[in-house]
Chains A and B, each alone.
Chain A
Amino acid sequence: MMTLLRRIMVTCLFLGGAACNQDDTLTLSSKSIVYCAEGSPESFNPQIITSGTTVDATSNHLYNRLITFDSKDNSISPSIAKSWHETRDGKMITFYLRKNIAFHTTQYFTPTRTLTADDVLFSFNRILDKNHEFHGVSGGNYPFFESVQLGSLIKEIEKINEYTVRFKLYRQDSSFLANLATDFAVILSEEYGQQLAKNNTHQQIDISPIGTGPFKLKEYRVGSFIRYYRHDDYWQGKVALEQLVFDITPSNTGRLTKLLTNECDVSAYPIAHKKIMEHPNLTLEAVTSFNVAYLGFNTQKAPFDNKIVRQAVSYAINKKSIVDTIYSGRAEVAKSLLQKGSWAYDDSVIDQVYSVDKAKELLKLSGLENGFEMDIWAMNIQRAYNPNALTMAKLIQADLKEIGIKVNIISYEWATFLQRIKQGEHQSVLLGWTADHPDPDNFFTSLLSCSSVNSGSNSTLWCNKAFDNLLLKSLETTNIKLRKEYYSQALAIIAQEIPLLPLAHSKRYQARANNVKGDIMSSFGGINFLTVYKSEVGKE
């Protein structure tokens, strides 16, 4: 690298002037990508978060998991574990690790060894073992793992030898492997953990991350940008990009402007799709993303602790017009949490119809026929499932005015927003969920189970024993037909109780300059720049 730069400097001295400067930009920008991201990450460790923004900004760049999803057919495929073996009863799973996987070398850490079973143990014990030195660091919450109840599933993790790890489970769980393959189940460095423990700076593990992924963290300025450099010893081979910069731009128009002026190469969640498609140097792409946008009621606060009020509100909302306005018709109206592509999708679930009269009737039944005042929390950033929550909230505001409910719209910066939702400060909220893996359990357990109330990913704070039992039963079997039956019953309970009102299923969009090649998005999980490069044409 240095010699290359020096050579450029020398040529510059000889040629002088503008021609050389052009060369400079070319070398610098042809090996770098600026990605316009929609928000700041909450942490650099995906173990402790659930938000898609953080996953997009960290997981695939900094870390690897034991196993991953194949980008083509979404089947589970090897990553750090080159292979694995599952006993017939499904209660013991052994992973055989790859050798010579190097950790990042940075200003704050120099590894002396490659990845071993100790690192796998360290990463999972941090989550599972309440007495682990790092368990309580950064709050001690592991929302994803708490919501899938990993703690009550894994009996023990055993190190067989340096490169073999065995997970012993209490019971069979058909979504276990899928959960381990999600973006949250990353492998950290045990050696780095020890170094931090020695210096008594434990919290650094989530702030200055060390992983095995294709990029390492160089610099992060809160609310402004993240700078990643290439991890030169990456185990899957040389990464084409030298630099990956996340330009944090919460404003939708700001991201499009930067894309149009070439200040960004790739933009998350673009608006004005027509404008991008018409532009000669830009491409708009979409992937099917399993997601749902919903209006969640805080079922522990009045008046939404009353089922009838929730039903009344859900009757008063015109889903069809919301989907047409917000998604410009590029999404389907959600009937339930699941969408048509999912194997557990059930078309017979009763859909909530739009009926103002019915809503008024129910309000009268609940004794609130004179209406009331309520808060809707709407995020100010774009998500795949909801491109414009604020406008959506405005539409709902207009809908609910019809039945005499006055709606106040409340919004915060994304990280604060999630923080406050977690603390249950809201009355109702426009949120959504993007599946982390193809198993339908991911929608139910993470969003509505009792365990996710505690972990904070259940923004409705709704806890229903019968519902939870169905989810549990479904996980204990591998019989797809039986599982589907359980999930249909679960969906019926949601349609009756309405802890949340599903609104829409949408695709995930992204825009990029034409000279950026390679796959960035996938159906599940965060974005990935592993195979991305810029074509030689460079300046177009």
Chain B
Amino acid sequence: MAREKIYQEEEFPSPFLQLWQIFRQTPVAMVGLGCSIFLIVLAVFSPILTPHSAIESNLDMLLLPPSWDPSGNITFLLGTDDLGRDMLSRLMSGASLTFGLSFVVVVISLVIGVLIGSLSALTSGIKASFLNHFLDVVLSIPSLLLAIIIVAILGPGLSNTLWAIVMVLIPQFVHITRNAVKEEFVKDYVLASRLDGASSLRILRYSVFPNIVEKIISQATLAQSAAILDIAALGFLGLGAPIPLPEWGAMLKSGIDLFYIAPWAVYLPGLAILFSVVATNLVGEGIRHSLKLHKES
């Protein structure tokens, strides 16, 4: 292994590519990946794709059941809610709120977390030990509880929810990056580039990152599924997205009042959350599975 790494610039995508080779041989993981890509497309293009407005109410079409019901209407494929808003359009726009925003949240906390994590891996002594202890305490508090605490301080609202979740996720990335970087730093190939005279930052950038990127991505999928569930849970508790926004958790909450009249207003957002979390978890499982096989091979 160490000898091959001398020509890093030609070699560096290879661990990732190797992983991909294994990943694509797992059908379940590929299904998960397909679903995730579908959700990402939906999140980005939902304003163009939705057949109706997600926020404007349509008072002539109140509480229509889904179209397969005898009294349903084909133009409102999944029915409407108590203000006559098309469920399908709301669910699609919800994808950009719940799924899309969770993606953004994960990316932001990944960047910050990896930065802090790799810098902290380069330090040692009391500072490092303090960070370690601090991380241990923070990581032992469940993410949703921590998010609720932060929302309680910042006050309810969608942007506050997102910041809260970013803050909750950062320590996880710091932790995983720090450990992974430390692990890599003792390996021979790092020593080789150090002997070449490379600075620590250069080693990080060109030698270490390509080798830990899959670990970080695997953590990102975990963070993503937690973020979806947390955004939805806060929305459900009425602490997240404000009233007219079609965030899935908030939709579910307002659907509860219609539980007995329009059960689809409860089923559909819940299914959407479940679908996106399962898709994310399948991808994550796939990556972890391939990582394991990769290590064994």
Contacts and interface: CB of A to CB of B under 8 A. Distances in A.
A and B co-occur in one complex: yes
A256 B243 CA distance: 23
A219 interface: no
B260 interface: yes
Contacts of B83: 325, 391, 394-395
Interface in A309-347: 321, 324-325
B256 interface: yes
Interface string A59-98: 0000000000000000000000000000000000000000
B259 interface: yes
A398 B256 contact: no
Contacts of A274: 261
A113 interface: no
Interface string B172-199: 0000000000000000000000000000
Interface string A228-269: 000000000000000000000001110011000000000000
B48 interface: no
B261 A275 contact: yes
Contact of B59 (A253, A325, A409): A325
A397 B56 CA distance: 10
B244 interface: yes
Nearest to A393: B243
A315 B80 CA distance: 28
A419 B9 CA distance: 69
Q: Chain B contact residues (Cβ within 8 angstroms of A): what range? A: 10 to 19
Nearest to A254: B256
B244 A271 contact: no
Interface in B235-250: 243-244
A474 interface: no
Contacts of B211: none
Interface in B35-73: 56-57, 59, 62
A326 B62 CA distance: 11
B230 interface: no
B136 interface: no
B11 interface: no
Contacts of B261: 271-272, 274-275
Contacts of A394: 57, 83, 243-244
A253 B243 contact: no
B197 to A, nearest CB: 61
B244 A397 contact: yes
The prevalent SS among residues of A at the interface is helix
A235 to B, nearest CB: 42
A252 B257 contact: yes
A253 B260 contact: yes
A398 B244 CA distance: 10
Given A253-B257, A394-B83, A321 B59 contact: yes
Contacts of B256: 251, 253
Contacts of A395: 57, 83
B82 interface: yes
B260 A324 contact: no
Given A325-B62, A325-B83, A388 B243 contact: no
A295 interface: no
Given A253-B256, A271-B261, A275-B260, A390 B59 contact: no
Contact of A271 (B56, B62, B260): B260
Contact of A409 (B56, B243, B259): B243
B260 A256 contact: yes
A274 B260 CA distance: 10
Given A390-B243, A395-B83, A253 B259 contact: yes
Contacts of B59: 321, 324-325
A272 B257 CA distance: 9
A272 B56 CA distance: 24
A325 B244 CA distance: 16
A199 B260 CA distance: 52
B260 A398 contact: no
Interface in A360-401: 388, 390-391, 394-395, 397-398
Nearest to B243: A409
Residue of A251, A391, A397 with most chain B CB atoms under a 10 A cut-off = A391
A251 B259 CA distance: 12
B55 to A, nearest CB: 8
A252 B59 CA distance: 22
B262 to A, nearest CB: 10
Contacts of A390: 243
Contacts of A321: 59
Contacts of B56: 398
Contacts of B82: 325, 391
A388 B83 CA distance: 12
A409 B257 CA distance: 18
A257 B83 CA distance: 23
Contacts of A272: 260-261
A526 B257 CA distance: 25
Interface string A435-456: 0000000000000000000000
A398 B243 CA distance: 12
Contacts of A271: 257, 260-261
Nearest to B261: A272
For the complex of A and B, list the 5 residue pairs with the smallest distance between their C-beta atoms, beginning with the closest: A272-B260, A253-B259, A321-B59, A275-B260, A272-B261
Interface of B: 56-57, 59, 62, 82-83, 243-244, 256-257, 259-261
Given A257-B259, A409-B243, 7 more contacts: A253-B256, A256-B260, A271-B260, A275-B260, A275-B261, A388-B257, A391-B82
21 contacts: A253-B256, A253-B259, A253-B260, A256-B259, A257-B259, A271-B257, A271-B260, A272-B260, A272-B261, A274-B261, A275-B260, A275-B261, A321-B59, A324-B59, A325-B59, A325-B82, A390-B243, A391-B82, A394-B243, A397-B244, A398-B56
Interface of A: 251-253, 256-257, 271-272, 274-275, 321, 324-325, 388, 390-391, 394-395, 397-398, 409
